[in-house]
Each structure stands twice: as C-alpha cells, then as structure tokens.
Structure 1
Amino acid sequence: MGGGPAGIFAADILTKSDIDVSVDILERLPAPFGLVRYGVAPDHPRIKEIVKALHRVIAKPEVRLLANVEYGVDIKLEDLRDFYDAVIVSTGAMADRDLGIPGEDLSHGAADFVSWYDAHPDVPQTWPLDAKSVAVVGVGNVALDVARVLAKTGDEMLTTDIPAHVYEGLKAKTTTDVHVFARRGPAYAKFSPMELRELNHSPNVEVIVHPEGFDVDEHGMEHIAQHKSQKMVLDTLANWVGREPVGKPHRIHLHFAEAPVEILGDEHGAATLRTERTRPLGDGNVEGTGQQTNWDIQAVYRAVGYRSTALPGLPFDDRAAVIPNDGGRVLDLDGNPIPGTYVTGWIKRGPIGLIGHTKSDAAETVGHLLTETVPTAVLREPGDIDAYLAERRVDVATFDHWERLDQHEVALGEAAGRTRIKVGVREEMLRAGRG
C-alpha cells in the first residue's frame, strides 16, 4: 500500500528474489511516485530523474499498479488478506510536525505548501501569498525549498512543471523577505550542501547570513569533523556572513540560535514571530538566554519535519508517528508480529534520510517477508481484486492509465516549450489516463 519510492523499491526487491511473486501496488492518488512527484520542489528536476528508475519497476510484468484506490475507504485490511499472502504498508509521511508554541494555529505547514506548489490533486488550488515578510522555522532541505520558492519570482519557476494555477499564484505573490530561523547554531544545520548553494543561484534573490548567533562551540567543531557534508555547509555559510548586499529585489535571511517561542496575530493571520536567542550547552543541545526578539512578519511556515498518520486497522505509535515494527514486521499492541503484515519507508522509521536510503530499508523488510510468509490468500487471481474494486465502483488507474497521463503531461509541456506541465486536478488526471 503506497506507490512512492518505498513501495516501489520493495516491489523491485521482491521481483528480483528467487521466489516466484506477483505484486500489486495500491496507491491512493491517480499517479504513482509519491514523494518524488509531490514532495520534491519543481525547480529540482535532477532529483526527479529517479522517476525513470521507478517507472521501470512498475512496468515489470510481475508488478501491477492499482492507483486511485484508497485504503480504509475502498478496501480494508481484512479484505487485503483475502487477496494477498502479505501486505507491505508504505504510505510515507505527508503531515507536518508541530512547533508546540502558542499561536501555532496561525502558521502554515510546510508540507501543505509543498503539496500546493507540487499540484497535489487533493489540496486547494489557491494559496495565500500576500505576505511581504515571511518566516520559515526549520533548517532542513524542505525549509530551504519553501524559502526558495517563496523568494523566487513566478517567471523563474515557469521553466518547471508547475501548472497554470501555481504559476499565477507565485507570479502574484508580494513576498520580498524570507527569514529562516534555526534553533541551534550553523554546525547543526540539516540542509545538504547542494541545496544550500542553490539558494544563491537566482538572479533575483540575495542570501543574507546574519552574524548574530553564528557561533560554533567545541562540540559543534567535533560534530562537523565527523560529518563531511556539515563542514561543507558551514564553509558555505561562513563565506556568506557579512557579504555586502548587491541590491537584488528579494532576500532570504538565515538566522541561527533563534528559537521560536510564540506567534502573535489575529483571525487574519500571523503578524509577529517572537524568538528567543539560545546558547549551546556543550552537548549539541541549547538553552534559552531570555533575550527575545519580535519579528514583524505576515506569515509563518513550520518546516520542522514531516510525520506519518494512523491507518485504519493498524497499530500506530503516535509519539514516534510510525507503525510499531521490528525490522519491518508490524507489531501488535503486545509487541508480537502480526502475520503477513509489514511496513517500509518513512512510516516504518520516520522521515529520516534521503530517497536512496529507502532501498536498504525496503531490503530489510522484504528479507523478513520472504522467509516468513506462507500462502494464506483465498482469492489469489488478479481478477479477484479487480472484480472486488469494480463491484464497489472504484475508478482504478492502472499502469496503462499512468502512461497515458504521463504522455499527456509531456505533450502539454512541449506545447509550452517545457519538459512537462503537471495536471493537478484528480478528475482531469483520470480523464487523461482513460485516453
């Protein structure tokens, strides 16, 4: 269940095993590829190259794509057990973690904004972009994506796969300054070196690293000595501290050692973000100094991590936001493995690591599945689940549907001199898939 990288990698490993298998990938959306299609910023086409590898997997004869099928609505876990000997849950993480501060309800979730600019078919087609000064809380790659998209002009993004409603929204935005806040110092920033350097590539965006809080203690030095990428990030940031402004119309401000403590505003939204200066404790953690600053902003975005959500009929650890498991074996409330039920990807281990890390994660899960699974399905033919879904009038989108939708998006792009224009309306996606 789940047609993103985690589920597709698991299918690939299963088909390469010594055991004769057939795999159905059930996906809630009308198109596959999950996070790659709906979580990667549109101005990062290089990362989306992984789609080619994922496409080859779902094109295998042993693999079937059953998209536009929603677990818990169109089919239940007990139904799946009738059709399959084993079920792998790979539904990912698309909700936002909370900040845990007063006024948080006045902020936007980064995941929601990402879904909007990536033309997710289940989100509204409009987004409020009338803030001149914006705060982004977090120092991961998603925070940088959000900051970069907010700062760049709509015309700069027109070379990507964004559809018309996203372009019109970005073109009309009034944002001039984006302030990115980190609770700790620069040695612990979680963005990748390449993501960071890309902030400085726009002809319309100036990156300003504020010297206040830009300190590295002994523990921070030890940390970057053990992580090559962290040192590259720190070197880039250090080169930017104190640079003379060159007068570009939009600015991204990076603030370190500033922890959000409250968002102030009214029913119209945020008006002030209050932060507290922090100091290092010598172990990688920080504490507040009592020195607070009120920032005049009109919108706040939370980019402090994604979290998975509970699924009907399956256990869920709400604190860790994962399905309890032992190496991918789903565990019941007593800590015992549930036969034939497995998990992989972010809903297994949390939203940690890059897309490539999902391969080894899937290999662990599939290894247990192959050694433990026994035949239990009573309706084993592919036509059995097809008939079940047809009886419930589920408009299933198959691999053939995806290929037609893919060709349709590419054709839209070619007509506009672009590689692709994404379709962001579910009914239009299904209609294009039917041909």
Structure 2
Amino acid sequence: MPYVVTQSCCSDAACVLACPVNAIHPAPGEPGFAEAEMLYVDPVTCVDCGACATACPVDALQPHTKLTDQQLPFVEINAGYYRDHPHADRTPLALVPKHRASRTEGLRVAVVGAGPAGMYAADELLKLPGVEVDVFDRLPTPHGLARYGVAPDHPKTKQVIELFSQIEREPGFRYRLNVEAGTDVSVDELRSSYHAVIYAVGAATDRRLGVPGEDLPGSVSATVLVAWYNGHPDADDNDYPLASERAVVVGNGNVALDVARILTSDPDRLATTDISDRALLALRDSSIREVVLLGRRGPADAAFTLPELIGLSNLDDIDVAVEGEVAVTSAKTQILAELAARTPAPGRRRIVLRFHAAPVRMLGDDQVEGIEVVRTEVVDGRAVPTGETEQIEAGLVLRAIGYRARPVSGLPFDEDRALVPNDGGRVEPGLYVGGWIKRGATGFLGTNKSCSKETVDRLLDDLDAGLLTAPTSVVPPFEYELDHRGWLAIDRAERALGEVAGRPRVKLTDRPALREAAVPAVRRNAGRARVRAGR
C-alpha cells in the first residue's frame, strides 16, 4: 500500500482534491464525511505519487515504507474501510466545478472569529478576484482551537497553523485582533461597514452534568483545563487541585483522552512542547497518578476516535487499562479488548477506561472529595441506571461531555441545539455563520473547510441575486487593535523564547505580555481610535 492516512489526520480534505486518481474517501459531499473520524487511502487505486502528502496540512499521510511500529495498524484500517465502502463509481472531486459569482470586485466581508472555521471561510472568499476580508477576533492572537484546543503533545495536528499562515498572506486579507464583536463593535455596525458578515465564533463553553455538587471547588470543566494548559489568556490565572492521587473525567471523547494524557504525562516530555509554563510548573508538582474516564454506555459506544485510541494505546510510559470484559465487534473494541487483557506495569501512572458508569453526585462539602456513579445498562441505545452505585475517591473531577456555543449578541439563538438557526450557513442575506456556531460542536478541525465552503456559497448566491447591501460606513480602529504585523511580532517573540528553551515556542499567556510583544504594531492613534476599558 503506497500511502497511508495516520492518526494525525484532520479531515480537511485537501488531500482529496490533490489526488489525481480519486483514492481518498470519504470526500466532501459523500455520506459520512461530516462524521468521519479520519480519511482513508484506497490501497488498490493509489499510484504512490505523493500529491496527497504534499497537500496535507498536518503531515498525516505517509508512504507505507516509512510507518513507525505504532502507525502500522493504520495500514489495515485504511484498507478495511474500502472493503466496507467501495468507491469505484465516484467521479474525482477535483473535477467538480467551483462556485463562480458574477461579480466579486470590491466585495468586502467581515469574518468574526479567527479560528479554523473563520480562516477557511476567508480562504474560500480570497480565491475570488477583488475580495477583501477583515478577520476579527477578541483575542490578541488568532487560530482559535488550533492554538488553544489541540493538546500540546500533538504537534502534527498544530501544523494546520502553517496553512493559516499562508491564508494570512493573501492579498485582501486583514486581521483586526483584540476586538470583541458584540462588545466593541455591534452586529449593526459590522453590517453597515461590509457587504456581508460571517460569524465563526465557535463553542466557547461546555455542557453541564446537572448533578448535585457540580459547582464545588475541584469540579471543573475540561474545556477550561484545556485552555489553561494551552496558555489561553482567559485561563492564565486558574489553579487546579492536583494534590490527590486520582482524578476522574466524566466523558470519553477525544478531549477526555487529551486531559487524561496530559495529567499523567511525564512533565519532562511535556517540557519539549508549547504547553503553558504555568501549567507545566503545576504539573511538575502534581500528585496525580491515576485518571479514571467514565463512559455512560459500553465500549462499542465510546466517543473517542479510533486514531486517538491507537495513539493512547502506544504510550510507553503510561499504563492504559480497561475495566471489565469487552466484546469485539469493531477495530475500536478490538484494541479495547487488548488493553483490557494487559498486565499493569508497577510504578507507572495509569489511565483507566471505565464503561457503563454515569455520574450521580459529587462528594464533599467544601471541596470535591470524589464522585458517586451508578452502573448502567444500554437499552434501545440509551444508558439506563441499574441502581447499583459506587463512590470513587478523587480530588479533581472534570466534565468532558461536549462543547456548547453561547448566544451571540444581535443574532438569533436556538438554546436547545446551542447554535444560530441557519440555512446552510445563511441567517439572512448579508449575515452568515460557520463552524460550531452554525452546526453545533461536531466534527474535527478540517471539517470546518467544507462547512465554510457551504457558507461562502450561500453568500455568493445572495451576491448573485443582488441581495447584499453596499457598505455605508467604516469600522474605525481601536486603541489596542492588532493587525497581521502585531500577530507576527507576537509569533516571533514566542518562537524566540522557544528557541532558547529548546521548545517550538513559549506562549505568552496574558494580555499585557501579548500587547508588549506586539508593541511596534499596536494601533495607538488616539485621534482616530476608540478606547476600550480594561484592554
């Protein structure tokens, strides 16, 4: 088999377009693409040209001759997909014509959110002649979850940032960072200053458990912990109870695996990554030796992806255990069964995967001391409590049961689905959404590429139909607004600090330090700038 997609796949489908023989699936527009854990190379069709590897932003495609022992399972995973999903009759995606609007010269679009969804939307727009895109973000730094959500020990996944760096250099692109839409500038102001506005603000909070004691100190959102160890300015001052030997994570998706892995990793290994210095110092002093992950349903229903499970099972310094018997019904359960049969290695930190366990309440009065769980059984696809309960001692309990978007000032919001109601990204002509605020917190980094293309297509349809209104005003600069030069100055400063420390970068984690690093590029024209309190 010439080329293989490995666990670093981000599913952005750039490889699909690059492949001259239609050997990579599922592709955008095919059933299952939005839910796919990864993409797969057909071993029969692939001609070993390497075009896919060149196009991949995260270095996920490798020739079979260069696979490590840990990556060898992906040979069978790629091949097995095509036994179950033949694609012999599929026309190559690269031949599908792109949307062509009748007139784009002078089109001005504001994109709110500089994460993957916003950057992919900007990329789609800038492929058209004469388009100008201003990308707003409330933070002084761009790239959203690619910077602040990807685990620091997953550097290949972070390579998608290099793709965003290419987009930033496109003619017509401009950053307006450290500007918060809805607070510093309203929806109405943006709409009067641009032909169209795309909100791609993501899902900034998490779903709650709804159990007694959830708000006790020591009961924490995994979303916030991820932000903390990734150096997010909003989480820079956070502290977490790491003095107990056990932590519990409610949930077993990829985020749950990430936080369990970071909490049990050797700090010396994390010291070679871009993890927050503050988090690294705290983890060096941590007493946590075991992290237990709770899943409401059984092993076959585990929310983590197969690639992430393979990566976890290959760790050589952490014991990964699965409690109970595992019925082998898939590649995922096969690996779980093998983990369940492993003999623990004395002295290692442990990650324990426990299934059929649902939270009942947090234990403790002034501080979390543990969690009570109830055993469940799956009935008609639902986890039903059996009444059999157990108490697990822990000083830290993390909920990791999914992200949730917040309402956006000036936009309609569906509280039940936690998204802005839309038709393929269109809220109304001139106002659009992309990413998690559009479709809910589903998919992977690269899923935003096809999602953003759909949104931009709706925008261009409205442009062709004459439904977009020409700008009548201009949003003025703000006192501490940063443009691309400001971000590049921050980037250089972080990389320089990293070079001294032998790390890819040392992140600046508070706003004053970020502003200081960007100083020559900070806009301080008091005569033209709006002043914002507290920035």
With the length of structure 1 as denominator, give the TM-score of the two structures. 0.89
Q: Is the 8 A contact 1:136 1:302 kept in 2?
A: yes
The residue aligned with 1:432 is 517
- Partner deviation per Cα, 1:115-151 (whole Å, 9 max, x = no partner): 0000001223342222321100111000000111111
Matched, 1:305 2:395: no
The residue aligned with 2:33 is none
Matched position secondary structure for 1:286: strand
Q: How does 1:271-290 map to 2 (within 5 A)?
A: 271-281=369-379, 283-290=380-387
The residue aligned with 1:166 is 279
Q: Is the 8 A contact 1:142 1:303 kept in 2?
A: yes
Matched, 1:353 2:443: yes
Q: How does 1:396-415 map to 2 (within 5 A)?
A: 396-415=481-500
Q: Alignment identity in percent? A: 42
Matched, 1:25 2:135: yes
Q: How does 1:33-52 map to 2 (within 5 A)?
A: 33-52=143-162
Amino acid at match of 2:266: T
Q: Is the 8 A contact 2:361 2:372 kept in 1?
A: yes
Distance in 2 (alpha carbons) for counterparts of 1:26 and 1:274: 44
The residue aligned with 2:232 is 120
The residue aligned with 2:469 is 376
Q: Please state how far the C-alpha of 1:203 moved relative to its aligned partner.
A: 4.3
Distance in 2 (alpha carbons) for counterparts of 1:59 and 1:131: 48
Q: Please state how far the C-alpha of 1:375 moved relative to its aligned partner.
A: 4.6
Q: Please state how far the C-alpha of 1:11 moved relative to its aligned partner.
A: 0.7
The residue aligned with 2:245 is 132
Q: How does 1:267-346 map to 2 (within 5 A)?
A: 267=366, 269-281=367-379, 283-330=380-427, 338-346=428-436
Amino acid at match of 1:326: D
Q: Please state how far the C-alpha of 1:215 moved relative to its aligned partner.
A: 4.8
Q: Is the 8 A contact 1:210 1:242 kept in 2?
A: no
Q: Please state how far the C-alpha of 1:200 moved relative to its aligned partner.
A: 3.8
Q: Please state how far the C-alpha of 1:3 moved relative to its aligned partner.
A: 0.3
The residue aligned with 2:456 is 366
Matched position secondary structure for 2:477: helix
Shifted more, 1-10 versus 98-107: the winner is: 98-107
The residue aligned with 1:146 is 259
Q: Please state how far the C-alpha of 1:376 moved relative to its aligned partner.
A: 2.2
Tell me which of 93, 116, 128 is aligned to 1:5: 116
Q: How does 1:239-250 map to 2 (within 5 A)?
A: 239-250=338-349
Shifted more, 135-144 versus 150-159: the winner is: 150-159
Distance in 2 (alpha carbons) for counterparts of 1:284 and 1:272: 28
Tell me which of 125, 134, 144 is aligned to 1:14: 125
Distance in 1 (alpha carbons) for counterparts of 2:164 and 2:454: 19
Q: Is the 8 A contact 2:429 2:468 kept in 1?
A: no
Q: Please state how far the C-alpha of 1:164 moved relative to its aligned partner.
A: 2.2
Distance in 2 (alpha carbons) for counterparts of 1:50 and 1:117: 20
The residue aligned with 2:477 is 389
Compute the RMSD of aligned alpha carbons: 1.6
Matched position secondary structure for 1:46: helix
Q: Is the 8 A contact 2:197 2:432 kept in 1?
A: yes
Tell me which of 90, 94, 111 is aligned to 2:223: 111
Matched position secondary structure for 1:326: coil
Matched position secondary structure for 2:429: strand
Distance in 1 (alpha carbons) for counterparts of 2:375 and 2:441: 28
Aligned residues: 403
Distance 1:274 1:215, change over 3 A: farther
Unaligned runs of 5+ in 2: 1-111, 521-535
Distance in 2 (alpha carbons) for counterparts of 1:123 and 1:361: 29
Distance in 2 (alpha carbons) for counterparts of 1:112 and 1:123: 7
Amino acid at match of 1:173: S
Distance 1:163 1:146, change over 3 A: closer
Q: Please state how far the C-alpha of 1:254 moved relative to its aligned partner.
A: 0.7
- Partner deviation per Cα, 1:232-252 (whole Å, 9 max, x = no partner): 321111101131111133111
Q: Is the 8 A contact 1:126 1:165 kept in 2?
A: no
With the length of structure 2 as denominator, give the TM-score of the two structures. 0.73
Q: Please state how far the C-alpha of 1:202 moved relative to its aligned partner.
A: 4.2
Distance in 2 (alpha carbons) for counterparts of 1:378 and 1:125: 41
Amino acid at match of 1:237: L
Distance in 2 (alpha carbons) for counterparts of 1:418 and 1:297: 33
Distance in 2 (alpha carbons) for counterparts of 1:266 and 1:200: 37
